[in-house]
Every structure is written in structure tokens, then in C-alpha cells.
Amino acid sequence: MNVLLKSTTIIDSKSDFHNQTVDILIENGVITQISKTIKNTNDVKEIDLENLHMSQGWFDSSVSFGEPGYEERETLENGLNTAAHSGFTSLAINPNTNPVIDCNSDVSFIKGKAEKHAVNLYPIGALTKESKGIDLAELFDMTSAGAIAFGDYKRPIENPNLLKIALQYASNFDGLVLSFPQENKISGKGVMNEQVTSTSLGLKGNPNMAEELQIARDLFLLEYTEGKLHIPTISTAKSVVLIREAKQKKLNVSCSVAIHNLILTDENLTTFNTNYKVLPPLRTQDDINALIEGLKDGTIDMVTSDHNPIDIEHKKIEFDFAKYGTIGLESAFGILNKHFSTKKTIEFLTKGKSRFGIHFQPIAIGNKADLSLFNPNGIQEFTKDHIKSTSKNAIFENHETKGMVYGIIANNKLILN
């Protein structure tokens, strides 16, 4: 794949060309020239788009598709295409399939399905067999097949000794263990944040304490085992404080936050729209303020769309019985760019790679092209027309976004909207 990008502004703080508007020539998937002006002497495909910007390829640390087992929600092929058109070149995919991704062959199946695609797919193996929280899965074997981390998606490890053993065992091969932060005995049957709004709506609440107790326990186990822990999708102010203190103690811990938990509050649930039913639940503005502060000071390591397609039969039902989850790949850039600077948005969308052991390079001559292409300007409303996922459970439907994604260049392939 040979392509010449004209007048593109580079947003990459690691690159010598950061904030410069240049032409870039890519030949056979490698950046061969960067200059103010490059003449198209070999008649290669030329891309000249309005206000074209580029950055290192974006990464999402928590994405769910359906295949295998739930293809009605999303196939791997359509999911990868959705990611590409949303600007993502790398995804960590959760093991919540049927069967659960909990062995070498399952990881190999997922990797094989994505082998020739522009988007890089990195499986997260289940931490326990069938994600039942009883016995450890085949962690080392899955690492050999290409798994980059281990966790039971949206399922907390209730047995503290099991998590202790997992952290100790995974440390033998530098494995990253994920532990979903929820104490089920505290959260009970809560379906939204426990606060004034839940009382007024008559819905059972899931209190902040359910998350915070679990994080406190996990951090204590981490300190004891000296393992490597990632806490996905935190949502409360106290959680930020706990993880900040743990990092000050030099514990090997990281965490993420879902984009919707940075933007929306529990007050959005007053319409009983099940697209707002997510886990962890939407919290309060005070929690949002603390999460944003945690991002700014580095306590929170990355953001995620927490993309989770749910078919209409499991979403368009009574709120108490609807499944948790929202799609988010398509809206991720536009929502973040609306609420944060473009520089911060790009930082949020690229920062998680190193924690998950994903190789990346600055935009420079001689490096492989792994690029996200976008226009940071322009206000629009996110509607169903922007959804490429098979499932349409979009929490940000009818919300205002800023900018637009043009596509990606990765794995010697060009995908444009």
C-alpha cells in the first residue's frame, strides 16, 4: 500500500514533527518521507482531506464483540470494521463470548479471525475457567497464544485467595491481571447509582462503597503478592483516592475509566432509557470531577469506550431486566474531543498501549505507519446514522460531538470513511 497524505497536521508529542503540517509518503506500510511538500512523482494514491490531522493509532483497552456465540450482537469482522472507521488501530477484546475465551485454542481462534485486518486485535483471556470465578484458567498457555492480559469481564473475583494466587502465578511471566471492582454482596440487585436519583425513580441502588471495598481489598492483595494489577472502569471519587495512594506506594497498579462515566451522571436515567444502564453505573458530578482530576494527574492511566454491543431483545425491555452495556467505539473520539482538548483526547486514546505491552512508535521516517486520521473541528449530533455496529445500544445517541474520524492506516492497509 502506497499513499501520499497532503497537508496533514501531526499530533504526536513523541514525534519531531509534532504540531507541524506536512506531507507524508507511505510506501509498503512504512513512512518513507515527511516534508513540507512532497511531489507525487510515482503517481501513488493521494489523500487530501479538509483539515486533515493524524496521530499514532488509537487503542481501546476494553472492547466486546459477540463472536463466537453471540454473532447477533456483533461479528468479529463487522466489529473490526467498526473500529477502523472509528479511528482505532488496536483493540483489547474481552473474553465474554460463548464459549468464554479461557484456553490456548480460543485465543488462537480470535487472533486468526483478525489476522489480515488493518486493526490489531489483542485477546484478553479469562482469568478463571468459563469466567465462573472458581478455578484459574490456563493463563500461561493463553499468553503463548497471544493473550495480553487476564480478567473476567464485569465479573468480580469474589474469592480473595483466588486473586492472590492469580497475581502470584502471573508474576512468573509478567502477566497482567484484571480485577473488576465490585463487591456483589454490597451492590446486590442495584441497577443504578445509589443516590437521590435512584430513590426518586424507585430503582434499586448500587452504592459507591461496592466498588471501593473491592478496590481496597485488591490493592491489599497486590501489595502482599507484589503482582501486576489493572483495575478496569473505575467510577467513584474514593476509587481515585485509593489508587492514587497505591501508586504513591509504588504498587504495580493501573486503571481505566469508561468515557460515559466521565461525561454522564445518574440524572440521565430519569427517562428510563436502558442505553444508560451500564456497569459500573453512571455516578454523580462530584465523582466525574474526581475522575477528570485523576486523569490529569496520571492516577487514571487510560480511557476506554467499554464498547459492549447488546441486541435489541436484551435492551428494549423493562429497565430492571435490561442487560448492562453500551456501544462506544463510533462516538469515542467525538465525545472526548467535545469535552477535552484535541491534544488531551489523543493522549487518552493512545496512552494505554504500554501498560498492555503493545509496541508503538512515534510518527517518524522509517517507522511503520500505524495512524489515526481525523478532523478535530466541526460540531454535529451523534445519531443512528453514525452507528456501524450491528447492535444500536448507543449511550451517546443524540449527544453533541466535535470533529470527525477519516479512518486509519495500519498493517499496510488504508481504511477511509
CA-CA-CA-CA dihedral for 360, 365, 368, 373, to nearest 10: 80
What's the CA gap between 102 and 147, in Å, rounded?
10
Q: Please tell me whether residue 415 adopts helix, strand or coil conformation.
A: strand
Please confirm, yes or no, whether 306 is among the known catalytic residues: yes
d(CA 354, CA 360): 8
Q: Of 172, 163, 166, which is closest to residue 220 (Cα–Cα)?
A: 163
Element (H, E) at 155: none
95 within 8 A of 126, measured Cβ to Cβ: yes
Backbone angles phi, psi at 46, to 5 degrees: -110, 135
* DSSP secondary structure letters along 313-376: GGTSS-GGGSPP-BB-HHHHHHHHHHHS-HHHHHHHHHTTTGGGT-----S-TTSB--EEEEEE
In sequence order, the β-bridge partners of residue 46 are 4
Contact in structure between 166 and 198 (CB atoms under 8 Å): no
Residue with grid cell 497464544, as numbered in its chain: 145
H/E run at residue 302: strand 302-304
What is d(CA 130, CA 354) in angstroms, rounded to the nearest whole number? Answer: 28
CA angle centred on 3, ends 410 and 24, rounded to 5°:
90
Instruction: Please give the grid coordinates belonging to residue 172.
Output: 512468573
C-alpha 40: how far from chain center: 37
| Options 102, 106, 306, 370, the catalytic residue | 306
Question: Could you count the other beta carbons within 10 Å of the beta carbon of residue 39?
Answer: 9
Q: Which residues are CB-contacts of 264 (< 8 A; sequence separation ≥ 6)? A: 276, 282, 395
Contact between 189 and 210 (Cβ < 8 Å): no
Cis peptide before 156 (omega within 30 of 0): no
Any idea which residues carry the catalytic annotation? 306
